[in-house]
Amino acid sequence: MIPNPPLGVLLHAIGGLASAVFYLPYRKVKHWAWESYWLTGGIFSWIVAPWIIASLAVPDLLTVLRTAPAKSLFWSYFFGALWGVGGLSFGLTVRYLGFALGTAMALGYCAAFGTLLPPIVSGELAGVVKTTSGIVVMAGVAVCLFGIVISGLAGVSKEREMPEKEKKAAIEEFSFAKGVWVATFCGIMSACMSYGFAAGKPIAELAVTNGASDLWKNLPVLIIVLAGGFTTNIIWCFALNLRNKTFGDYLKCEQPSVAPENPAPPTVRVPLLANYLFSALAGTLWYLQFFFYGMGTTKMGRYDFSSWTLHMASIIIFGTLLGVFLAEWKGVSGRTHWMMRLGLVVLISSTVVIGYGNYLAKGSTAPAASDLPAAEKPVGRTTDGAHGREILPLPRREGEGWGEGKIAVRQCDVAPPLPLPSPLPKGRGKSPSCDTRVSRSFIGT
């Protein structure tokens, strides 16, 4: 697939918007404990939506998952479980700090760890900083982190200036001390989603081999990663249901009123169907952030690790704007408003810089064989007559220049054409025996 960084940036922006607004339907849930509606929405986020969408977009989905490398499946699931801890704590972050401050603090840690650790561990970072396009991308990452710091400072300033009554009106359970600790923990653990995608690359490649489009190749990876997240969340939510005695939320249609003016409180109706529908909507919106993230990653090209920064920046941008819409910034000083606007400008600028860096890298990356005109596509099999080897071109590794690639060399009992052809062996209808091994070579030199 030919990279298209501008489209990739747009897809990440849509994913960020979905992430910023997913919590809104939860506000319509009535008479349910947090753990009840979080788990109900999570079933749609982590199980229902991933399986339905992947089944529609990926041919032979079950075959892909059944034949995927066990190591890739394990680490994708493992990092998904760790990310699940961060995911459930993000709900608590919003609960204690609100959208603006909670999102900025949690995603600041998440952006730094999720963007930089994968290329460091893989050894890719050293090569990135040696190219102009790579330096531009890393500069964009730095600009994004700077924008997150500004947004965080604006959020802190806002919380200091807002009257206590305004805080409670906008965020019913506001607690700065609890929120800071939860946001820090949430950001670090949430970065594991990025590691899960990195560990699942063999699964994505297998999906393409089985006929999936490059655009949808990450959907099977999402199934595994989100299954890990579901495991963590269901254990935690069931534990809270047990402790708080809220298992009845899932079935009860009424509960006693807690109005203090009624000495003998009557029962109030619980909108059970509406609660399920709003929770399902919230869960589906939440899943869509990674649906678009997975598509955006396929369009970024050589430096696809920068996708995580774009995703985080988009979430903060739309999360801040949503905070303004919900009056979370009401009553703050002009200085704080100025800091908030500056943070938005810096974050938006970072997406432009990262997109431009990936665009520069696009010019130095060769198109895939499927993107070449028919006359330019490499021949499927060639024979090196001088050495009696059958050469099978394989897909280039991401980031290799044109003319450089990986080939499979099969040492076969094919006789060289010179000086004279050898007589055909007995049983000439059979394939010659071959010893397959992979080597590095330069194609076309």
Whether residue 437 has pLDDT greater than 60: no
**Beta-carbon contacts of residue 383 (< 8 Å; ≥ 6 apart):** 389, 390, 391, 414
What average pLDDT does the structure give for the chain? 77
Judge contact between 223 and 144, C-beta under 8 A.
Answer: no
**Beta-carbon contacts of residue 368 (< 8 Å; ≥ 6 apart):** 1, 2, 395, 396
SS3 labels along 243-264:
HHCCHHHHCCCEEECCCCCCCC
Here the tokens at position 255 are 């509960």
Predicted confidence band of residue 364 (pLDDT cuts 50, 70, 90): low
Residue 413 CA: distances (Å) to CA of 179, 407, 437, 440: 69, 19, 15, 21
Here the tokens at position 244 are 């708080």
**Distance between CA atoms of residues 99 and 328, nearest Å:** 8
The whole-number pLDDT of residue 259 equals 57
* 312 membership: H or E segment, kind and range: helix 307-325
Which amino acid is present at 267?
Answer: T
The whole-number pLDDT of residue 118 equals 77
The whole-number pLDDT of residue 100 equals 61
User: Among 64-73, 163-172, 320-329, which range has the highest average pLDDT?
Assistant: 64-73
* Coil, strand or helix at 174: coil
Under DSSP, the state recorded for 430 is S
Instruction: List the one residue out of 101, 230, 218, 232 whose CA is nearest residue 167.
Output: 101
Place of tokens 């998440």: 110
Which amino acid is present at 225?
Answer: V
Here the tokens at position 19 are 């992430």
* Average pLDDT rounded to a whole number, residues 323-349: 85
> Looking at per-residue confidence, does 113 or 85 come out higher?
85
User: Which stretches of 246-337 are assigned E, i.e. beta strand?
Assistant: 254-256, 267-269
**Residues 399-419: pLDDT tens digits?**
443 333 343 444 444 444 444
**Residues 175-191: pLDDT tens digits?**
777 777 888 788 888 88
Instruction: List the one residue out of 404, 293, 321, 353 whose CA is nearest residue 141.
Output: 353
> Looking at per-residue confidence, does 149 or 440 come out higher?
149
Residue 147 CA: distances (Å) to CA of 143, 150, 246, 268: 6, 5, 41, 46
**Residues 216-227: pLDDT tens digits?**
999 999 999 999
Whether residue 197 has pLDDT greater than 80: yes
Whether residue 213 has pLDDT greater than 70: yes
Instruction: List the one residue out of 154, 143, 148, 144 whose CA is nearest residue 338.
Output: 154
**Distance between CA atoms of residues 296 and 307, nearest Å:** 7
Judge contact between 443 and 403, C-beta under 8 A.
Answer: yes
Judge contact between 101 and 179, C-beta under 8 A.
Answer: yes
Here the tokens at position 7 are 């489209």
Can you give the pTM of this predicted structure?
0.69
- The torsion angles phi and psi of 384, rounded to 5 degrees, stand at -85, 95
**Beta-carbon contacts of residue 185 (< 8 Å; ≥ 6 apart):** 85, 86, 89
**Distance between CA atoms of residues 282 and 44, nearest Å:** 9
* Coil, strand or helix at 130: coil
Judge contact between 26 and 284, C-beta under 8 A.
Answer: no
Predicted confidence band of residue 282 (pLDDT cuts 50, 70, 90): very high
